[in-house]
């Protein structure tokens, strides 16, 4: 143990001396430089103590409509030394009830999900920013006055990670050897972007995909208009928002649109099909799993 | 409040059926949004200032009774009059009484959403008083018999050409869509109003508790003119619009203009202390400050009180993709956009309960709010309040019940998946549904819906772990 700590300290020292921040770097740059060094140290530590088991919370929509996304996540994590478990009792994260204000129902479903994952080992990986946000931020809030589940909710929230977040921040991977031939544009889904700050993780991973040409999406941070039940209750507004998003996608000149949430993917894909467009829509895990 | 006959859904359809207005709104709001982003980018320590501003608002509201009393005492010691109005009726009656007692014929008004909220203009006009809006946007709204569509940009929904046509028709001037020409027309028209008006009416951007000062922020200088030239100045202030000190005011002003339009500071930021004193050359002879509750005290102390932090900069409207799509009028309330969707049901009652549903909870509003109000969180709380009272539509209640029962039981969930697969196998065409029934038809009106995968992930997992 002591030797490892000494090793880490030594690596830190060497890294610090050999990678000084630029002389006239701003505090922000210096911080970033240092945090990269810090992260690489953490990675060295991580790879030695890697949790070899992770739980897959696949989300109901991947389960029912886009199972290939779940398969892609499983195979990517397997390749990177993670044994994946799938607790078969899992269903849905409760967002449709929570976002519509049906808190009683949302609590019941949240308790079910917590029960399913409580006695499992390792981190919980979710291929969706929105469902991760639900578990990480809303479960503890929703169950804060529940004597039994408040602590359990907190514990689950602490070990739940969105898929790209898990790859980059927990496993320390930036290049997973993927290879995808296409001109792609990336839509950052709102909950991942604003509630989990998923910016660096997907962009790092995509930057390292071989043969992938990336083009900018105009007004990328605008919501696509899905919003769960919003798309049914306010379908006209939702449709107008979708129209704007798809105009921007077409403007970008991409032939594949990448996103991290299958809800938004379903929405944009359905809109593109109605338009008769040939642009494909892929979950980021599908892109990263492609290696010819 | 601004009750229109149409329902929210009809207003949405109307807004979406007007591509010209929609374009004007989206372009205008996006331009302000971009200006805000670049102003904030070059503002040092933006996040710290924002945190400080939030703290100032939170502190003010947690001791509002103290600060209101301090403010009122200071206003009175400066020689101003303070009137506490419980609701719109009391406020309008008081201002009408002053106008009658002082024989007021002409009122010059600065832009104020609060006076829109209480329909003050209509009330004064019913007593035969001529009320003229002196803010350019509001003036155009008044000329065309319209309503403001944005809390700081009343004519966001209009194009230059439309403004030119209104001027040609109502002011008998040759048509022009050149902003400078249009401005000159209004300037000539307004000068006379400022000089003739007996009473100036304004809102209040901030009241300063420690000194009893009023802060009025405008870009056109009309706020300064209507508060100094006429004999009487009446300022209507929402009871929450206080800051404790002048230093706090400076923090708020740093954020207000940047958030609203991307300006470092509005062109005219006036701090007014009381009516004219003996040796002063301008200022009103009488200053009345009406402190209006109109439902605000009911929000105070609840889990939704955070909405009272709002400083009415309009940044959340400019950031909101729903607002970009439908504009302010479709909301039907004086207050539109995310802040309007929270405020309207709280101030004006349950008939506005549909507004909180007009959000994807994308969070763009929270990101730009200068006092970091958790608008998506407040919208969620309002939705929860509605469903707790059992006021959600039947299909929603039924659907939620079925959804919860199914998702809490993995066997039922598996069964539901299989049913979905069966329906998909029989009814889907090339893997897609193009027409859906019942409450789902909104989806298929504008997009296709995918068929369920013939083998769900759990079935694939079972197969691979067995095989």
Q: What is the largest CA-CA distance in chain B?
A: 97
B400 touches chain A (CB under 8 A): yes
Burial of A42 per CB tally in 10 Å (0-12, 13-18, 19+): middle
Q: Inform me whether the pLDDT recorded for A51 exceeds 90.
A: no
pLDDT tier for residue B2 given thresholds of 50, 70 and 90:
very low
Contact residues on chain B for A94, CB-CB shorter than 8 A = 407
B196 touches chain A (CB under 8 A): no
HEC profile for A120-160? CCCCEEECCHHHHHHHHHHHHHHCCCCCCHHHHHHHHHHCE
Out of A66, A96, A235, name the one closest to residue B442 (CB): A235
Long-range contacts of the stretch A32-41 (C-beta < 8 A, 24+): A37/A12, A38/A12, A39/A172, A40/A15, A40/A172, A41/A8, A41/A11, A41/A12, A41/A15
Say whether A65 and B440 touch across the interface (CB within 8 A): no
Out of A70, A191, A222, name the one closest to residue B457 (CB): A70
Distance CA B155, CA B286 (A): 32
Asked if A99 contacts A229 with a C-beta cutoff of 8 angstroms, the reply is yes
Write down the residue that tokens 């499992």 correspond to.
A120
Give the mutation candidate from A26, A110, A198, A233 for the B interface (greatest B CB count, under 10 A).
A233
Distance CA B195, CA B173 (A): 22
pLDDT digits (tens, 9 = 90+) for B382-397: 999 999 999 899 999 9
Write down the residue that tokens 């899992």 correspond to.
A90
CB pairs under 8 A between A and B: 198
What would you report as the CA-atom Rg of chain A, rounded to the nearest whole angstrom? 20
pLDDT tier for residue A23 given thresholds of 50, 70 and 90:
very low
Asked if A198 contacts A168 with a C-beta cutoff of 8 angstroms, the reply is no
Out of A97, A221, A223, name the one closest to residue B360 (CB): A223
* Residue A194 C-alpha, separation from nearest chain B C-alpha, in angstroms: 7
Say whether B13 and A90 touch across the interface (CB within 8 A): no
Indicate the fold that domain A173-288 takes in CATH: Rossmann fold (3.40.50)
Strand partners, A185: A257
User: Chain A: residue nearest B439 by CA?
Assistant: A232
pLDDT tier for residue B5 given thresholds of 50, 70 and 90:
low
Quick one: CA dihedral B214, B217, B222, B225, positive or negative? positive
pLDDT value, residue B329: 95
DSSP state of B308: G
Asked if B72 contacts B291 with a C-beta cutoff of 8 angstroms, the reply is yes
Contact residues on chain B for A66, CB-CB shorter than 8 A = 453
Say whether A236 and B16 touch across the interface (CB within 8 A): yes
pLDDT value, residue A18: 47
pLDDT digits (tens, 9 = 90+) for A224-236: 999 999 999 999 9
- Tell me if residue A219 falls in helix, strand or coil: coil
Domains annotated for chain B, with CATH where assigned, are: 42-297 (3.40.50.10420), 394-466 (no CATH)
In this structure, the number of other CB atoms found within 10 A of the CB of residue A28 comes to 8
Distance CA A85, CA A227 (A): 29
Average pLDDT of the residues in A22-43: 51
Nearest to A58 by CA among A50, A43, A68: A68
Say whether B453 and A65 touch across the interface (CB within 8 A): yes
pLDDT digits (tens, 9 = 90+) for B189-210: 999 999 999 999 999 999 999 9
DSSP E strand boundaries for B219-343: 232-238, 242-243, 268-272, 286-292
Write down the residue that tokens 């359809």 correspond to.
B13
B407 touches chain A (CB under 8 A): yes
- Counting Cα atoms < 13 Å in the Cβ hemisphere of B150 gives 29
Asked if B368 contacts B392 with a C-beta cutoff of 8 angstroms, the reply is no
pLDDT tier for residue A49 given thresholds of 50, 70 and 90:
very low
Q: Inform me whether the pLDDT recorded for A196 exceeds 90.
A: yes
pLDDT digits (tens, 9 = 90+) for B282-316: 899 999 999 999 999 999 999 999 999 999 999 99
pLDDT tier for residue B465 given thresholds of 50, 70 and 90:
confident
- Helix/strand/coil percent split, chain A, to 5: 55, 10, 30
B431 touches chain A (CB under 8 A): no
pLDDT tier for residue B439 given thresholds of 50, 70 and 90:
confident
pLDDT value, residue B6: 74
pLDDT tier for residue B464 given thresholds of 50, 70 and 90:
confident
Mean of the per-residue pLDDT values for chain A? 88
Percent of chain B topping pLDDT 90: 94
Query: Looking at per-residue confidence, does A28 or B327 come out higher?
Result: B327
* Residue A24 C-alpha, separation from nearest chain B C-alpha, in angstroms: 18
What would you report as the CA-atom Rg of chain B, rounded to the nearest whole angstrom? 26
pLDDT digits (tens, 9 = 90+) for B339-363: 999 999 999 999 999 999 999 999 9
Say whether A101 and B388 touch across the interface (CB within 8 A): yes
What ranges do the domains of chain A cover?
2-49, 53-168, 173-288
Burial of B38 per CB tally in 10 Å (0-12, 13-18, 19+): exposed
* Residue B361 C-alpha, separation from nearest chain A C-alpha, in angstroms: 7
B341 touches chain A (CB under 8 A): no
pLDDT tier for residue A5 given thresholds of 50, 70 and 90:
low
pLDDT digits (tens, 9 = 90+) for B46-92: 999 999 999 999 999 999 999 999 999 999 999 999 999 999 999 99
Lowest mean pLDDT among A15-24, B1-10, B162-171: A15-24
Percent of chain B topping pLDDT 70: 99
Q: Inform me whether the pLDDT recorded for A45 exceeds 60.
A: no
DSSP state of A194: I
């Amino acid at each position: 143990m002591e030797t490892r700590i000494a090793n880490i300290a030594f690596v830190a020292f060497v890294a610090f001396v050999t990678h000084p921040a630029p002389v006239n770097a701003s505090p922000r740059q210096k911080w970033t430089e240092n945090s990269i060094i810090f992260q690489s140290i953490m990675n060295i530590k991580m790879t030695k103590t890697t949790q070899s088991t992770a739980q897959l919370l696949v989300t109901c929509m991947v389960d029912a409509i886009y199972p290939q996304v779940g398969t892609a996540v499983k195979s990517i994590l397997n390749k990177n030394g993670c044994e994946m478990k799938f607790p078969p009792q899992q269903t849905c994260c409760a967002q449709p009830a929570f976002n519509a204000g049906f808190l009683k129902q949302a609590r019941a479903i949240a308790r079910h999900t917590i029960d399913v994952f409580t006695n499992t080992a390792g981190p919980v990986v979710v291929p969706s920013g929105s469902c991760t946000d639900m578990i990480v931020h809303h479960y503890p809030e929703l169950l804060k006055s529940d004597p039994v589940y408040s602590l359990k909710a907190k514990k689950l929230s602490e070990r739940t990670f969105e898929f790209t977040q898990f790859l980059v921040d927990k496993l320390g991977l930036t290049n997973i050897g993927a290879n995808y031939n296409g001109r792609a544009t990336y839509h950052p889904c709102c909950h991942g972007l604003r509630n989990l700050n998923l910016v660096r993780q997907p962009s790092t991973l995509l930057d390292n995909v071989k043969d992938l040409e990336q083009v900018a999406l105009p007004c990328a941070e605008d919501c696509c208009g899905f919003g769960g039940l919003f798309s049914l209750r306010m379908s006209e507004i939702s449709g107008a928002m979708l129209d704007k998003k798809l105009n921007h996608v077409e403007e970008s000149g991409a032939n594949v649109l990448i996103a991290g949430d299958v809800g938004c993917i379903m929405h944009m894909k359905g809109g593109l099909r109605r338009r008769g467009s040939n642009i494909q829509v892929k979950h980021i895990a599908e892109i990263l799993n492609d290696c010819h | 409040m601004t009750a229109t006959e149409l329902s929210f859904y009809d207003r949405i359809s109307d807004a979406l059926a007007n591509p010209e207005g929609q374009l004007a709104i989206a372009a205008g709001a996006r331009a302000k949004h971009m200006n805000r982003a670049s102003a904030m980018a070059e503002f040092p320590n933006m996040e710290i200032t924002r945190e400080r501003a939030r703290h100032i608002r939170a502190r003010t509201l947690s001791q509002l009774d103290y600060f209101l009393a301090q403010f009122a005492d200071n206003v009175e010691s400066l020689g101003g009059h303070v009137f506490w109005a419980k609701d719109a009726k009391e406020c309008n009656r008081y201002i009408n009484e002053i106008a009658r007692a002082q024989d007021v014929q002409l009122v010059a008004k600065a832009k104020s959403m609060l006076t829109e909220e209480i329909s003050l203009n209509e009330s004064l006009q019913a007593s035969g008083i001529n009320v003229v809006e002196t803010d350019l946007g509001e003036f155009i709204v008044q000329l065309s018999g319209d309503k403001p569509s944005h809390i700081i940009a009343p004519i966001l929904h209009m194009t230059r050409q439309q403004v030119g046509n209104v001027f040609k028709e109502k002011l008998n001037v040759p048509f022009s869509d050149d902003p400078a020409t249009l401005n000159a027309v209004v300037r000539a028209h307004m000068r006379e109003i400022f000089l003739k008006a007996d009473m100036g009416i304004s809102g209040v951007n901030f009241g300063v508790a420690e000194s009893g000062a009023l802060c009025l922020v405008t870009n056109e200088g009309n706020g300064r003119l209507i508060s100094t030239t006429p004999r009487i100045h009446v300022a209507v202030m929402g009871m929450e619009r206080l800051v404790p000190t002048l230093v706090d005011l400076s923090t708020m002003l740093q954020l207000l203009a940047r958030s609203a339009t991307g300006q470092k500071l509005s062109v005219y930021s006036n701090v007014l202390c009381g009516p004219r004193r003996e040796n002063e050359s301008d200022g009103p002879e009488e200053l009345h400050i009406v402190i209006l509750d109109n439902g605000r005290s009911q929000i105070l102390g609840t889990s939704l009180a955070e909405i009272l932090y709002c400083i009415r900069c309009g940044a959340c409207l400019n950031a909101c993709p729903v607002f970009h799509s439908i504009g302010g009028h479709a909301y039907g309330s004086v207050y539109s956009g995310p802040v309007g969707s929270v405020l309207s049901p709280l101030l004006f009652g349950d008939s506005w309960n549909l507004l909180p549903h007009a959000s994807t909870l994308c969070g763009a509003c929270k990101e730009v709010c200068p006092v970091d109000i958790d608008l998506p969180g407040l919208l969620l709380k309002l939705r929860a309040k509605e469903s707790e009272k059992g006021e959600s539509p039947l299909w929603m209640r039924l659907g939620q019940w079925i959804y919860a029962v199914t998702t809490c039981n993995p066997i039922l969930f598996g069964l539901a998946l299989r049913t979905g697969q069966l329906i998909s196998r029989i009814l889907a065409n090339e893997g897609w549904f193009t027409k859906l029934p019942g409450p789902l038809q909104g989806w298929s009106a504008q997009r296709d819906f995918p068929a369920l995968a013939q083998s769900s992930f759990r079935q694939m997992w079972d197969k691979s772990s067995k095989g």
